[in-house]
Structure formats: structure tokens, C-alpha cells
Structure 1
Amino acid sequence: MKQLMMLFFSFCFSLGIHAQENNDALLKQALNAFNEKEYAASAQIFEKLVKIDSLNAALHYNLGTSYLRMQNTALSIYHLEKALKLQPDYEAARINLNFAEKLKTKVTKGNLPIPQQQMLYSVFNFLKPNAWAYLAIASMFLTVMVLVIYRLNSNATAKKALFTLSIFTLAISIGSYFISKNQSDYLLMHHYVIVKDADAVLMNEPRTVAKVSATLIEGEKGFIQEATNQWIKIQLPNDTLGWIEKNKVLQY
């Protein structure tokens, strides 16, 4: 049984190494294609890598930059915004996003609302959600260990110190859990949309026969207010509200 377990773990480890080698090879191909100015080929490979690791800011940045060189307004803005959502201090992504914004045929004045979770995410972004989760588990394990030692110890002074330490490690565990959950919720939840169709329109109601409230342009952004199976209610930077079909936007 022990040998079977060892073989299983060895097999899993080998698969992990093989997958990482494949990813590294793909990344090298994508960067080479970009350097050779083969931007379509570069974007195609980066798309594959993003599907494998969707929370990798650098991959979204490279993909967005490839689309920027192809002058694909919507997809360049979308992936550069994703890079900044994952890593708010990503200055290169911010610079390229400014260039991508200039591809739009018109500029919409105003600012979009900022999700409440974003502030907390920015404060605790020095660790990723998985790292916070591991810290929560490790702290909880340490709390249990300290409490076991506390129960076995007969020295009053030591017991007091151990009890205080257990409260401290428990607080770290609980705090890390909630930070991890907030980080994950923020990254996985969609707060904004990027219009990907040049002929998209904003409707007063979630119906194709409703009155048109605004004509949108490719690359325009909106803040998500609510959603149905086929429609999303968004707020534009100029505070205009309306409904747009889901298949005409990219959510992030």
C-alpha cells in the first residue's frame, strides 16, 4: 500500500513538472512571436496560457498588449483592465491601457463607481488569496498545537502565555480566512463590462424591442448594476443607465 501511495505521488509530481514545462514552452513561443511582430500568433498562444492561469496578471498584460498592437480595442482594454484588477500597481499595464483607450472612436466623460471590495483588496494585495488561505490553515493548526501544549503544561505562567498565544494565532487565522474570501470574491466576481461590438446599444428595458437609451462604441466601459440570463444592467461613466445583451460585452 505504501509503495502504491509513493508511486501515485510520484506520478502526480511528474505530471505537475510536465505541465509546467509545457507552459514555459508556450510562454517562450508567445514572447518570440511578439518580438517577431507576429501579434496574432502571440495573442493566440497567450489566450491558451490565460485559460490555464486566469489569475495571472502578467499573462493578461502580454495578451492585452498583443491585442493593442493589433489595434483590437475591446480585447486590449479588457485584458489590460484584468491585469490591473489582479495587480493594481502594474504600471506597465496602466500605461498600455492609456494607449488602448486612445483607440476608441470617442471618449466618454465621467468616472465609474468603485466596488467596495476593491479598497480592501488593494490594502492586502501583498499576498495572493491562496497565500492568505494557507496562512489561515497554518495559523489554525498552530492554534490547536498551542492549546494541546497548554492543556499538558502545569506551569501557571507558561499556561497564561500559551493561552494568549493561542488567542493571537486564532485571530490571525480568522482574519486571514476573511481576507482570502474577500480577495477571491473580488477577483472572481464581475463588476464591469467592456463593449466588444461596434453596433451595441443600451436599452431602457431588458427587451430587444425596448427604447434605445444610448448607442455604445467598442471598448466602452460600464459598471454592472444587475443581471439576468441574457441581459446586464449597466451604468456608464456619464451615469446613463440601461440594459445591454450579455453577448455584446466582456465582463471582468
Structure 2
Amino acid sequence: MKQTDYSYTRSLMVFALFLLWSFATANAQQGSLFETGNELYNQGEYQAAIDTYKEILAAGEHSPEVYFNMGNAYYKMDRIAPSILYYEKALFLDPDDEDVKVNLAYARNMTIDDIDALPKTGFAKLTRGLLGAFTYSVWSYLAIVGMLLFVLFFIGYYFADREGRKRLLFAISGGWVFLSLLCLLFAFQQRKWERNYDPAIVFASETTVKSEPNLGSDEIFRLHEGTKVFILDAMHDWKKIRLADGKEGWLPAEELQRIKDF
């Protein structure tokens, strides 16, 4: 019996070591590909660098650094739509990266369409800024922490022997309930926003936005390469899109590349 337990433990250790070795090897390979891509970029071999970065993406590794470097390589090749697409991907993963923001602004200056975003009210800005402070998962964790603190303070209130202390602990526990429910509401709202937020980049050099999802419908307006749109709906091979200025219409799906495709 002891020999069997020993063999089982040894097998688990071997399996754990194998997993650690596999992860370390995979990370080393991805790091090597990233360095190779950077070397090719520095040598001016931009397409080769892009192909190398794509190998990293094909392995399921998505990082703002890889997307940023791909955006730079496409920008050097004067391919505006792909450069904007990959800058946007990098910014989606790391919204506070100033280098990405600067390079994205340069790339956008080379687009034809000049679209002014609809002005937001002060309340809308405040709400969006507050919800966007954390992801829905972080808001959910905060709600759980708030509920745990409520339980702890309520237990303290239940066992407190002084009237003043009981009132204080009861008030604090009630405050944690309120904050927990508020965080839970924020989590649901942020999750809803993240699901509905589906930006894309126009890849056609010029395209006609239609009033309905078919070629025979009326033309509403035209868009050009590199313009950012937001996908609202899909029907067959068409996507309903909205611009930052509020205009809506239908485009062939093949003329768009989604930013959140990972």
C-alpha cells in the first residue's frame, strides 16, 4: 500500500514538472519569436516582421506589445487600415498606453473621413467614466468583498454588548450592503456595455453605406479606409454599423475587420 502511494505521488510530481517545462518552453518560444520580429522590423523587413508576430497570435498569445509592433510595421508600409486596426487592438488591451495613443492619432490623421463624435452630457461622461474604471469582473469581486464585510460587521453588531457600539456596527454593515449592491449593479452595466461594444475598422478603400442589407437599397453615405465604426447588428453577409456621430447604415461584412476578435 505504501509503495502504491509513493508511485502515485511520484507520477503527480513528474506530471507537474512536465507541465512547468511545457509552459516555460512555450513562453521561451514566444519570446524568441517576438525578438525575431523586432529584429526584422529594425532591419526594415516589415512584412517579415508582421508574419513573425502573426505566429505569436496564432499560438493564442495576445498582448498589447505584439499588436503595437504590428501597427507600427503596417504604418511603415503605408497600410493605414491594418495599422489602425492593430493600434486599436493594443489600446483595447492596454487603454492607458500613451505610445499607442500617439501612434494611433498619427495613423488616423491619414484617413479621409472626418467624423465628429456626438457630444456627451456631463452625467453621461461621469457614468461612463465610473463604470469604465474597472472591468465587470473587478466590480463583481468588489461586490463579493462588500458582502463579506457586511457579514463580518453584522456579526459584530449581533454580539456587541453596548448600545452605542451596536448602532455603529449596524450602520457600517448597512453601508457595506449598499456598496455591495451598487458594485453588483455596476458589474451588470459594465458587462452589458462590453458585450454591446463591438468596434471595427473599414478596410475597403471606399465603400457605400446602404439603408438596408442589400445592394439594391439606397446609398446613405460613403466611408473610406481606416474609419472606425461600431457594429450594431448582423444579417447574412451584412453588418449594421453606427459612426461616432450617430449615423447608421449597412455594410458588407467582408469590408470590415472587428477589433475584438480574440
TM-score band by shorter chain is 0.7 to 0.9
Structure 1 gaps of 5+ residues are none
**Equivalent residue, structure 1, for 2:114:** 109
CA distance in 2, matches of 1:159, 1:189: 45
TM-aligned CA distance change 1:119 to 1:45, over 3 Å: farther
Equivalent position SS for 1:222: strand
Q: Is the 8 A contact 1:34 1:66 kept in 2?
A: no
* Code of the aligned partner of 1:91: E
TM-aligned CA distance change 1:125 to 1:103, over 3 Å: same
**Equivalent residue, structure 1, for 2:44:** none
**Equivalent residue, structure 1, for 2:168:** 161
CA distance in 1, matches of 2:17, 2:162: 46
| Cα distance per residue 1:128-156 (max 9 Å; x no partner) | 44333222212212212222332233332
Equivalent position SS for 1:36: helix
**Equivalent residue, structure 1, for 2:217:** 210
Query: How is 1:1-252 mapped onto 2 (pairs within 5 angstroms)?
Result: 19=23, 22-23=26-27, 25-37=29-41, 38-48=48-58, 51-53=60-62, 57-104=64-111, 107-113=112-118, 120-123=127-130, 125-198=132-205, 200-224=207-231, 226-236=233-243, 241-252=248-259
Q: Is the 8 A contact 1:201 1:215 kept in 2?
A: yes
CA distance in 2, matches of 1:27, 1:237: 38
Q: Is the 8 A contact 1:39 1:69 kept in 2?
A: no
**Percent identical across equivalent pairs?**
22
Return the TM-score normalized by structure 2.
0.71
* Code of the aligned partner of 2:251: I
CA distance in 1, matches of 2:235, 2:189: 24
| Structure 1 stretch displaced more, 172-181 or 63-72 | 63-72
| Structure 1 stretch displaced more, 220-229 or 138-147 | 220-229
* Code of the aligned partner of 2:97: Y
Give the root-mean-square deviation of aligned CA atoms.
Answer: 3.8
Equivalent position SS for 2:241: strand
Q: Is the 8 A contact 1:112 1:223 kept in 2?
A: no
CA distance in 2, matches of 1:27, 1:187: 30
TM-aligned CA distance change 1:11 to 1:157, over 3 Å: farther
CA distance in 1, matches of 2:176, 2:18: 36
* Code of the aligned partner of 2:34: A
CA distance in 2, matches of 1:13, 1:155: 57
TM-aligned CA distance change 1:111 to 1:200, over 3 Å: same
CA distance in 1, matches of 2:17, 2:126: 38
Q: Is the 8 A contact 1:204 1:213 kept in 2?
A: yes
CA distance in 2, matches of 1:171, 1:43: 47
What is the number of residues matched between the two proteins? 242
Q: Computing the radius of gyration over CA atoms, which structure comes out larger, 1 or 2?
A: 2
Post-superposition offset of 1:92: 1.0
Post-superposition offset of 1:44: 0.4
Q: Is the 8 A contact 1:224 1:234 kept in 2?
A: yes
CA distance in 2, matches of 1:155, 1:17: 59
Structure 2 gaps of 5+ residues are 42-47
CA distance in 2, matches of 1:17, 1:133: 34
